[in-house]
Amino acid sequence: MADQPLFAGKAVLVTGCGQELSEATARMLAQRGVAGVVIGGRAIEQGQAVAAIISAAGCEALFQPTDLAKLDDCAALVAKADEAFGRLDAVVFSAGMVAARGHPETPAEQLDHLHAVNVRAPFCLLRRAAEVMRRSACPGTMINVLGLPAEGDPLLLAGYQATQSALASLSASFAEAWAGDGLRVLGLDVTAARSGPADARAQLQAITGALALLATDPQAAPSGAVVALDRLVPLAAPA
């Protein structure tokens, strides 16, 4: 592929193995020439299988069991990439959790867990990733995937929407704080995928294509921005 040189020698971390988007992202990165990828998730057997497939294709891939609600697991995921590759060039946080019911019906415990996975986890994980990037002098890029997962009454998704707003704000704040270190932090809003191609595979290709663009082209969007998917890649309307 034309952008293989842009990925050559790079090490990337992807959260959320066990979800189609995270796995598709890891496969895309391997196909485009990254030297190594670390994937984290709770589905251990599935994660190990995905890592084995990617490694067999020629890209070193490692799986780290990760429950993003646990701070120690977030730290261990970044440490895995650091120990394996001694550097970290990009992070894709695509492991958002959706509450079954939203405010005001959502129990406090469920809302706390939602916040822990969707806000606290990227807060802690990206800070540790930034430490690795700075130490290895890598002009790294961190991308948070945002967006509503389905149509429905917005009130039923209020808890999730609140975490997405927080994650967008977090991306902007980190981008400003780390600008002097050459680090870029972006959000990719994939809500538009719902009005794009009906085929799930085509949706994944559109999203992973946008992630590749943001990870390699500083001109694609300014650091701190939350970019709508359909501003980066064309989306065909459902048939």
Query: Which of 203 and 99 is assigned the larger pLDDT?
Result: 203
- What are 11-23's pLDDT values in tens digits? 999 998 778 899 9
Running DSSP on this structure, what letter comes out for residue 194? Answer: G
Question: Which range is most confident: 5-9, 21-25, 60-64, 102-106?
Answer: 60-64
pLDDT of residue 91: 97
Average pLDDT, rounded, for the chain: 88
Cα 207 to Cα 4, 71, 74: the distances in Å are 18, 28, 24
Q: Cβ atoms within 10 A of the Cβ of 182, count?
A: 15
Task: Place 155 in a pLDDT band, splitting at 50, 70 and 90.
Answer: low
Yes or no: say if 72 and 80 are a contact pair by the CB < 8 Å rule.
Answer: no
Separation between Cα atoms, residue 11 and residue 161, nearest integer Å: 31
Yes or no: say if 35 and 10 are a contact pair by the CB < 8 Å rule.
Answer: yes
Res 104 pLDDT > 70: no
pLDDT of residue 159: 79
pLDDT of residue 72: 97
Find the mean pLDDT for residues 16-37: 91
Task: Place 102 in a pLDDT band, splitting at 50, 70 and 90.
Answer: very low
Tokens of 58: 């020629």
Q: Does domain 4-231 have CATH number 3.40.50.720?
A: yes
- What are 50-99's pLDDT values in tens digits? 999 999 999 999 999 999 999 999 999 999 999 999 999 999 999 776 65
Percentage of the chain modeled with pLDDT above 70: 86
Query: Which of 148 and 117 is assigned the larger pLDDT?
Result: 117
Task: Place 40 in a pLDDT band, splitting at 50, 70 and 90.
Answer: very high
Res 5 pLDDT > 70: no
- pTM of the full structure: 0.91
Res 108 pLDDT > 80: no
Instruction: For residue 45, give the nearest of 25, 17, 68, 22 by alpha carbon.
Output: 17
pLDDT of residue 39: 96
